[in-house]
Amino acid sequence: MARSKPTPARARKTARPGRAKTPIRSRESARPAILLVDDDPKVRASIRALLEKLDYRVVEAADADSALALIASDRTPTDLVLTDIVLQGMSGRELAVRLSIEHPGVRLLLMSGYSATTMQLKEGEVARFLHKPISLEALAARVAAALRDQT
């Protein structure tokens, strides 16, 4: 059954509590789908362009609540969530915790303009961290590694 493509517009807040706690995986395996979460539209556009250059499908969210709503809608198949740590409202770290509870097995990358040391990342988080500004090479390597991860 063919699905229509989701629009990258901001998500409506339609999160439904009590949804099945299953991993969120793309239904189209040819081009992995990445949910990009960053509250800065210019940064989001820049990272989106890099991801598309690497031939990934990209859906954007301006904040953690929008990201959760997109995932809960079940119309946004997602292979990886790439989120800024410092967001308005819920932080990227809080989003990561929520996703790990509500969608075990979700693949996740954290990013920030601050260093891993400044952000006081734990050992496991450092392995899934990208420092901004992000180069195409660093993005390609980290995304590929995260997609291979069988979390």
In the chain, the domains with their CATH numbers are 33-148 (3.40.50.2300)
How much is the pLDDT for 7? Answer: 42
Dihedral angle computed from the Cα positions of residues 50, 109, 8 and 69, in that order, rounded to the nearest 10 degrees = 180
What are the pLDDT digits (tens) for 105-120? 789 999 999 888 888 8
Phi, psi angle pair for 68, to nearest 5°: -60, -40
Look at residue 142 and give its three-state secondary structure. helix
Could you tell me which of 73, 72, 95 has the C-alpha nearest to residue 82? 95
The pLDDT of residue 29: 55
CA 8 vs CA 25, 66, 74, 148: distances in Å: 18, 11, 14, 25
pLDDT in tens, 53-111: 999 999 999 999 999 999 988 777 899 999 999 999 999 999 999 998 998 878 999 99
Could you tell me the pLDDT band of residue 150, with boundaries at 50, 70 and 90?
A: low
123 compared with 64, residue with greater pLDDT: 64
Give the model's confidence band at 5: pLDDT under 50 very low, under 70 low, under 90 confident, else very high. very low
pTM higher than the cut 0.85: no
pLDDT, tens digit, 9 for 90 and up, residues 28-38: 457 899 999 99
